[in-house]
Amino acid sequence: MRAGASLLEVEDVWSTNPLFLTNREAALSELGEQKVREACRMLKSSGISPTVVRYSLAAASVDSANLVGEELRVGRDRLVPEFNYMDPRAIGGWDFAQLNATVEAVWALDADEAGTYGKGGKPPPNEDGTPSETLSDQVVRLTNLFSVLETLYSGDTVVLVFPDGTGPALLSCLIGGIPLNRVHEFNFEPGEIRSNVDYNFVTAMASQSPSQAYLDILQRGRNELKLLRKNPGQLRNVKDLKYEEERMQEEEKRREDEIAKAKLLEKQSLRNEKRLQTQNDSYSSSVDLSTVGIAGVVAGAVVIASSMFSTEESVTEVVDESSIVSNSGNNNTSFDESEMVDFVSEFDFDDKNEMLHPGYETGVFVEENEHEINSPTKELDLDFDEAWLGTISDILSDTGDDDDNNE
């Protein structure tokens, strides 16, 4: 019996590495379970009651054997695992390749190159540890299996659950003495079971001409074999192809992310440039308005200063004329202008050095931090209007009194 189709077989993956046979990714599929149950019902209808179920440790074979024991009521102690004698033929570098295309290539390889004893037609080696075996290598395991069965189960009805279709087909060829290069004419389908396999049964099958379907498979397999040999380095492992596809998708996604990030940075840069330009324009406008405002303040200050200095000049003329009159009237009376300056400075300025300020001559003071324009004459309006004029009046009054006394 061949185990039902595994999950990998349903996915069109051919796995033969002994290290991975027990992986649950190669467990029995739902379709395989249906086929196994149908095979068990066929045995029941034929009146066959097995006493021992010997099965491979491949995951699909374990599941199939459990179903056989459940359907045919075989005790757990009669479900016996076989550790390596029932392992499938390993196909080396073609392991984990696409199942359908690779199986056809292997069938063509065996039919054309295996020979009578199956010593030819070796698949390419693999670097992951998967053996590269010929049919004769599998024959050695099967002869050892039969030696164990004859020793342990004499008189029992034994069901052998193989993980592949080539193992039971090879056993049939060994029983009937059929050349091993014809082995795939006896190939088992997933979930298929054959009873009473003996010499007569096998020779009867071998006497029939190969089916057209089998011949078509060989022809397609020869074409596929040419491609496999023409491109030995081509990646065929389904897992590797899947990883490569995922890598390409991740690479494409990474490129898209980089492009999107670059576009985002470009947009941000444009927004920053636009914001900076707007700020510069606003600053230029504010500077222009400030300049106009300052110019207006300066012009106003100049006008005020001019008017104030005009007033000062008129007062100075009055003082000069009064001096002249008093001097002409009384030769003993004199007016010292330096004393007048000291007198004015004493009342009008807190700091005599203020008269030496660079803006004193022009009458305009500019304070850098506050951008304000002050006029000393503006600050001295009270002194100029009241104190100074009052002093001049006193002087003129005193001068008049002196003139009267002289008269």
* pLDDT band of 343, cuts 50, 70, 90: very low
Least confident range of 44-53, 103-112, 351-360 = 351-360
- How far apart CA 63 and CA 65 sit, in angstroms, is 5
Average pLDDT over residues 283-300: 60
First to last CA, the chain: 164
pLDDT at 145: 96
**285: Cβ contacts below 8 Å, ≥ 6 apart:** none
- How far apart CA 74 and CA 1 sit, in angstroms, is 16
Q: Where are the domains of the chain?
A: 7-236, 245-406
State residue 406 phi and psi, 5-degree precision: -65, -35
pLDDT at 364: 46
Phi-psi region of 61 (alpha: psi -120 to 50; beta: other; left: phi over 0): alpha
Tell me the residue type at 165: G
Q: Say if residue 303's pLDDT is above 80.
A: no
**For domain 7-236, which CATH number applies: 3.40.50.1240, 3.60.21.10, 3.40.50.300, 1.10.10.10?**
3.40.50.1240
Average pLDDT over residues 30-52: 95
The DSSP code sequence of 43-107 is HHHTT---SEEEEESSHHHHHHHHHHHHHHT--GGGEEEESSTTPPPPBGGGTTEEHHHHHHHHH
- List strand residue ranges (DSSP E) for 71-222, in order: 79-82, 97-98, 158-161
Average pLDDT over residues 46-65: 96
Query: H-helix or E-strand containing 13?
Result: strand 13-14
pTM: 0.64
pLDDT at 355: 47
Least confident range of 47-51, 99-103, 240-244 = 240-244
| 3-state SS track over 281-309 | HHHHHHHHHHHHHHHHHHHHHHHHHHHHH
**120: Cβ contacts below 8 Å, ≥ 6 apart:** 113, 114, 134
Q: Among all chains, which residue has been given the structure tokens 């991740």?
A: 250
**67: Cβ contacts below 8 Å, ≥ 6 apart:** 28, 33, 36, 37, 40
pLDDT at 315: 43
* pLDDT band of 288, cuts 50, 70, 90: low
DSSP-derived letter for residue 116 is T
- List strand residue ranges (DSSP E) for 115-230, in order: 158-161
Query: H-helix or E-strand containing 367?
Result: strand 365-367
Percent of the chain predicted with pLDDT > 70: 69
- How far apart CA 7 and CA 60 sit, in angstroms, is 8
Q: Say if residue 299's pLDDT is above 70.
A: no
pLDDT at 362: 47
**231: Cβ contacts below 8 Å, ≥ 6 apart:** none
**217: Cβ contacts below 8 Å, ≥ 6 apart:** 104, 107, 108
- Dump pLDDT digits (tens) for 160-217: 999 999 999 999 999 999 999 999 999 999 999 999 899 999 999 999 999 999 999 9
- How far apart CA 142 and CA 139 sit, in angstroms, is 5
- Dump pLDDT digits (tens) for 312-332: 454 444 444 444 444 444 444
Average confidence score pLDDT of the chain: 80
Other CB atoms closer than 10 Å to residue 361's CB: what's the count?
9
